[in-house]
Structure formats: structure tokens, C-alpha cells
């Protein structure tokens, strides 16, 4: 697809230079299984360890749709992998390997160096291996498919029961808040704005939380479209409803400093891109994660109801019907 040219590397050089990672063969064997063939053949070949399930998820980021033209390639490297790992985290899986389909308008060595740096910085955090991909010319599009494994049962969206507690990890709304000043020059940012911007650019997939929730949570999802929309997905798949106490929704100091409370709450409830986890837990399981609750790593925000629908419970205790909108494509 990419002809070799004096101006830059051809497709194969490009893959060798930026995407093949040096690594001992021994590093490719783990309790998850063995990576028998990675980059360089027609297919990658893996041997999943006996008794483990293979979980796969794919996500695409398109320039102009999912990110602004001119977004730093280091950010894209991190983010394009993070949003995929987040799906593994939501199911309680152990991240393992990934493939990368890269569509580039041109061979830009600066872009490739920075992109691959952001990508592998995150991959290394979770010991993930890039085992193959595809490279084509066209409008900038980043498609990654991640693979993870799991010895027991995956966390799904469909197991929430009436009476279960609804919890979320981290703080919500930060990424949505950052979108409000994305076009300001970076030099003009104050500390709170810098913090929010980094939360948008470099989401932290909550892998350790997902792993710990195995066998505890009845349902889980990662928050990519906003708490209401994503909790709505759990409710739909589980055939239940839920209420949320807006006063309990965790907000960062930065979002509280930058936005009036109502705006901050709107970001937290309806804004996407946080990649925190939302999960449901039978009340008697709460003690297993009590230390996380005390440290503020996870926060109790509501409860599952038998009646379908979503409600906001205000401080006076009244329930108010709400519509879960979130961000939807093709509308």
C-alpha cells in the first residue's frame, strides 16, 4: 500500500521501525498462554492457556469524529489503546495482546514515532504485546482490537438485581469538562484545566478494579457515553431500573473549581469519555471493597430497582424520572 520513497519508510520498514517491539520469547509466555507468532506472518497465532477464556474487543477512532484534527500523536497512541483496554477492564479480563489497523493520510515519521511511543507506554503498563495489524493509506483512522483472558466468569452488563448497589470508580465528568475549553491555547490553561485536559487525553483503564470485581459485581460497564447512558445499558440488559443520587456522584476538585455545580453534574451524568467503571454489587459484598470506598477509589451513587427506568434522587428524597441520553452516533 505504501510505496518506499526517499521521503519516508515504506510499509514494512514502518512496521519494523515503529511497531515491532524487541522482547525475549520467554516474555511472550505467561499464565494467559503463549504468543506463538506475532508480527510478520499472515496471521498471529496464540495458544490460550487451558481453562482460560479469550475476550476480544475492537474500537475505532476517526479523525474529525472522535478526535480533533491536529491532536498530538502521543495522546492518540495512549488513548486509542486505553479505550480498548477499558472494555477488557469492564469485563474483569486480564489484558494480553492487541492488533492495530492504521489508516494514515501520509507517512509522517514524527507522527509515527510519537504515536507508537504513546501506544507502547500504555501497553507496557499492562504487559500487552502488539501481535499484528494492517497499514493503509486514507483518512486518519485508528482501529485497535484487544485480546484479554479470564479464568472464571466474565463480568457482563446483564446480571444486575433489584437492591444491588450502584458504584463508580474515580471521578466523573472530567473529560466532558475538558471539551469545553479544548480550543483555548494550552499556555492559557490554569492548573485545573490542565488536569481536566489530561483526564480527557490520557484515560486510565481501570483494569485492577475490574479484576478485583470478578465474582463480586453482578454487572459492570465502562463509562464511555456518560453515567446515565451506560448505567442505562446495564439496566436494559439486566431488565431492571436504577436511581442515582446526584449529590453522591464523585466530582474532582478540578471540575468543581472550573464549572458551576449544575454544569459539573451535567458533565458527570451525561458526558462521555471518562472510561471509569460503573458496576452493581449486592449489599453484602460491599465489605470486600470497603477499603476502596474509604479511599474514594470507588463511590456508591445509587441502587438498582425492579421497576425499569432511571431516576435521580434529590436530597429531599424525591425521585424524578430522567432520560438517559449520553452521546450517540448516527443521530
Residue numbers of the site for Mg ion (CB under 5 A)? 134
In the complex with ligand ADP, the residue whose CB is nearer, 42 or 183, is 42
Instruction: Give least dist CB 100 to ligand ADP, A.
Output: 4
Instruction: Give least dist CB 115 to Mg ion, A.
Output: 19
In the complex with ligand ADP, the residue whose CB is nearer, 98 or 200, is 98
- 100 contact choice in Mg ion, ligand ADP, none (CB below 5 to 8 Å, kind-dependent): ligand ADP
Instruction: Give least dist CB 182 to Mg ion, A.
Output: 34
Radius of gyration of the CA atoms of the chain, in A: 21
- Supply the DSSP string of 85-118, one letter for each residue: HHHHHHTTPEEEEEEEEEEESS--HHHHHHHHHH
Rounded Cα distance between 17 and 10, Å, is: 10
Nearest by Cα to 304 from 155, 156, 163, 157: 163
In the complex with ligand ADP, the residue whose CB is nearer, 102 or 229, is 102
Rounded Cα distance between 265 and 252, Å, is: 11
In the complex with ligand ADP, the residue whose CB is nearer, 136 or 194, is 136
What does the CA dihedral 32, 35, 36, 38 come to, rounded to 10 degrees? 170
Instruction: Give least dist CB 7 to Mg ion, A.
Output: 22
Instruction: Give least dist CB 156 to ligand ADP, A.
Output: 30
All cell numbers assigned to 306: 425492579
Rounded Cα distance between 196 and 28, Å, is: 36
- 93 contact choice in ligand ADP, Mg ion, none (CB below 5 to 8 Å, kind-dependent): none
- 135 contact choice in Mg ion, ligand ADP, none (CB below 5 to 8 Å, kind-dependent): ligand ADP
In the complex with ligand ADP, the residue whose CB is nearer, 15 or 301, is 15
Tell me, what DSSP letter sits at residue 328?
-
Q: How many CB atoms within 10 Å of residue 179?
A: 16
- 132 contact choice in ligand ADP, Mg ion, none (CB below 5 to 8 Å, kind-dependent): ligand ADP
E strand segments, the chain: 29-30, 33-37, 45-48, 53-62, 94-104, 129-137, 141-150, 165-169, 219-222, 241-244, 277-281, 298-305, 309-313, 319-322
- 133 contact choice in Mg ion, ligand ADP, none (CB below 5 to 8 Å, kind-dependent): ligand ADP
Rounded Cα distance between 286 and 282, Å, is: 7
Question: What backbone torsions phi and psi does residue 108 show, to the nearest 5 degrees?
Answer: -115, 105
In the complex with Mg ion, the residue whose CB is nearer, 137 or 198, is 137
Give the binding site for ligand ADP (CB under 6 A): 15, 19, 39-42, 100, 102, 130, 132-135
Instruction: Give least dist CB 2 to ligand ADP, A.
Output: 10
Instruction: Give least dist CB 41 to ligand ADP, A.
Output: 5
In the complex with Mg ion, the residue whose CB is nearer, 47 or 134, is 134
Amino acid at each position: 500500500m505504501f510505496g518506499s520513497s526517499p521521503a519516508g519508510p515504506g510499509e514494512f520498514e514502518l512496521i519494523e521501525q515503529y511497531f515491532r517491539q524487541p522482547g525475549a520469547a520467554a516474555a511472550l509466555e505467561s499464565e494467559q498462554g503463549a504468543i506463538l507468532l506475532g508480527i510478520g506472518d499472515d496471521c498471529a497465532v496464540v495458544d490460550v492457556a487451558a481453562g482460560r477464556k479469550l475476550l476480544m474487543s475492537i474500537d475505532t477512532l476517526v479523525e474529525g469524529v472522535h478526535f480533533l484534527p491536529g491532536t498530538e500523536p502521543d495522546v492518540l497512541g495512549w488513548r486509542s489503546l486505553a479505550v480498548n483496554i477499558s472494555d477488557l477492564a469492564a469485563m474483569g479480563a486480564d489484558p494480553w495482546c492487541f492488533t492495530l489497523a492504521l489508516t494514515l493520510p501520509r507517512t509522517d515519521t514524527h507522527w509515527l514515532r510519537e504515536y507508537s511511543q504513546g501506544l507502547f507506554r500504555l501497553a507496557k503498563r499492562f504487559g500487552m504485546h502488539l501481535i499484528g495489524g494492517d497499514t493503509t493509506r486514507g483518512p486518519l483512522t485508528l482501529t485497535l482490537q484487544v485480546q484479554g483472558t479470564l479464568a472464571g466468569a466474565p463480568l457482563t452488563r446483564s446480571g444486575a438485581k433489584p437492591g444491588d448497589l450502584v458504584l463508580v470508580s474515580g471521578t466523573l465528568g472530567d473529560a466532558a469538562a475538558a471539551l469545553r475549553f479544548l480550543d483555548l491555547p494550552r499556555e492559557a490553561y490554569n492548573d485545573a484545566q490542565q488536569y481536566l485536559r489530561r483526564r480527557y487525553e490520557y484515560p486510565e483503564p481501570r483494569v485492577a478494579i475490574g479484576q478485583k470485581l470478578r465474582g463480586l459485581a453482578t454487572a459492570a460497564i465502562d463509562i464511555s457515553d456518560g453515567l446515565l447512558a451506560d448505567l442505562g445499558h446495564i439496566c436494559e440488559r439486566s431488565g431492571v431500573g436504577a436511581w442515582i443520587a446526584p449529590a453522591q456522584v464523585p466530582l474532582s476538585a478540578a471540575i468543581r473549581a472550573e464549572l458551576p455545580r449544575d454544569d459539573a453534574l451535567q458533565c458527570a451524568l451525561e458526558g462521555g469519555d471518562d472510561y471509569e467503571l460503573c458496576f452493581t454489587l449486592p449489599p453484602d459484598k460491599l465489605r470486600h471493597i470497603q477499603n476502596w470506598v474509604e479511599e474514594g477509589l470507588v463511590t456508591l451513587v445509587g441502587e438498582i430497582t425492579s421497576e425499569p427506568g432511571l431516576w435521580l434522587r434529590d436530597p429531599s428524597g424525591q425521585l424524578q424520572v430522567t432520560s438517559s441520553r449520553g452521546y450517540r452516533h448516527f443521530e
